[in-house]
Amino acid sequence: MKFNLFRRPQAVAAAEPTGATTVTMAPTPAVISTSVPETSGSNNTEINKNDMFEEIKSKFLNEIDKIPLPPWALIAIAVVAALLILTCCFCIIKKCCCKKKKNKKGKKGKDGFNMKNMQGGEKLQDDDDDEGETGLTEEEKEEEEKEQEKLGKLQYSIDYDFENTKLTVGILQAADLMSMDSGGTSDPYVKVLLLPDKKKKFDTKVHKKTLNPVFNETFVFKVPYEELGGKTLVMSVYDYDRFSKHDVIGEVKIPMNTIDLGRPIEEWKDLESADQEEPEKLGDICISLRYVPTAGKLTVCILEAKNLKKMDACGLSDPYVKIQLLQGGKRLKKKKTTVKKNTLNPYYNESFSFEIPLEQMQKILVAVTVFDYDKIGKNDAIGKIFVGSKATGLGLKHWSDMLANPRRPIAQWHPLQPEEDIDGQLASLAAKK
- Please write the tens of the pLDDT for every residue from 42-55: 555 656 767 777 77
Do 154 and 252 form a contact (C-beta atoms < 8 A)?
Answer: yes
- Mean pLDDT (whole number) for 310-324: 88
Could you give the CA distance from residue 388 to residue 392 in angstroms, rounded to a whole number? 8
Stretch 212-232: mean pLDDT: 88
Backbone angles phi, psi at 175, to 5 degrees: -145, 150
Confidence class of residue 420 from pLDDT cuts 50, 70 and 90? Answer: confident
pTM of model > 0.85? no
Is the model's pLDDT at 415 over the cut of 90? yes
Q: Nearest 5 degrees, angle CA 86-CA 88-CA 90?
A: 70
Q: What is the mean pLDDT of residues 334-356?
A: 94
Cis amide leading into 196 (omega within 30): yes
Report for 111-120, 265-274, 422-431: range of highest mean pLDDT: 265-274
Cβ atoms of 289 and 409 closer than 8 Å: yes
pLDDT band at 310 (very low <50, low <70, confident <90, very high): confident
**For residue 204, pLDDT beyond 60:** yes
Q: Which residue has the higher pLDDT, 90 or 147?
A: 90
* Contact indicator for 410, 288 with CB cutoff of 8 Å: yes
Are 428 and 421 in contact, with CB atoms under 8 Å apart?
no
> Which strand ranges, in their side-by-side order, compose the sheet holding 247-255?
197-203, 188-195, 232-239, 247-255
Q: Are 308 and 370 in contact (CB under 8 A)?
A: yes
**Per-residue model confidence (pLDDT) at position 190:** 92
Res. 94 pLDDT band, cuts 50 70 90: confident
- Asked if the model's pLDDT at residue 28 lies above 90, the reply is no
What pLDDT is attached to residue 72? 76
**Model pLDDT, residue 172:** 92
Nearest-angstrom CA–CA distance, 38 and 56: 27
Closest Cα partner for 288 from 210, 368, 233? Answer: 368
User: Is residue 321 packed enough to be buried (19+ CB in 10 Å), middle (13-18) or exposed (0-12)?
Assistant: buried
Given a cut of 90, is residue 111 above it in pLDDT?
Answer: no
Distance CA 219, CA 176 (A): 24
- In this model, does residue 292 exceed pLDDT 60? yes
Model pLDDT, residue 326: 92
R_g over Cα of the chain: 44
Q: What pLDDT is recorded for position 84?
A: 87
Mean pLDDT (the chain, rounded): 77
**Per-residue pLDDT tens digits for 32-88:** 444 444 444 555 565 676 777 777 877 767 776 666 767 777 788 888 888 889 888
Q: Where are the alpha helices (DSSP H) in 135-267?
A: 138-148, 225-228
Top pLDDT among 71 and 127 is at: 71
Confidence (pLDDT) at 311: 83
At 26, give phi and psi (nearest 5°): -65, -40
pLDDT of residue 349: 95
Which residue type sits at 131? E
pLDDT, residue 195, reads 83
Is 14's pLDDT higher than 50? no
